[in-house]
Amino acid sequence: MKSDVKNKAHLQIFVIGGQKLSWDTDGFVVTQRQFLLDQIVEEGFEKSIKEVRWCELGINQSLTLILSERRAEIEEESCDF
């Protein structure tokens, strides 16, 4: 990430998704969530994290970037499996 970001003054990182599934008894999803967050910290971008929102089972999330306003919207909706 460091080579792609020249100036992190205005950088905002949004992390969404990663629902924990009922069959995930060995904690794979939780481990991967933590790995992602650890990587952001390792690269020195922890101050750029704007929001972290893990979804619950049965919820879909979408992230819309509104670049002209330098913001993002996270929407959640129920889904039927």
pLDDT band of residue 18 (cuts 50, 70, 90) is: low
Residue that the structure tokens 């904690």 belong to: 27
AA letter at 28 = F
**Domain contains 6:** no
Integer Cα distance of 31 and 7 in angstroms: 30
Integer Cα distance of 34 and 68 in angstroms: 31
Structure tokens at 57: 């089972």
Give residue 40's pLDDT.
Answer: 94
**Domain contains 3:** no
Convert the pLDDT of each residue in 22-73 to its tens digit. 677 777 878 888 999 999 999 999 999 999 998 887 888 999 999 999 899 9
Residue 81 reports pLDDT greater than 90 = no
Domain of 34, in residue numbers: 13-78
Residue 19 reports pLDDT greater than 80 = no
pLDDT band of residue 20 (cuts 50, 70, 90) is: low
Number of domains in the chain: 1
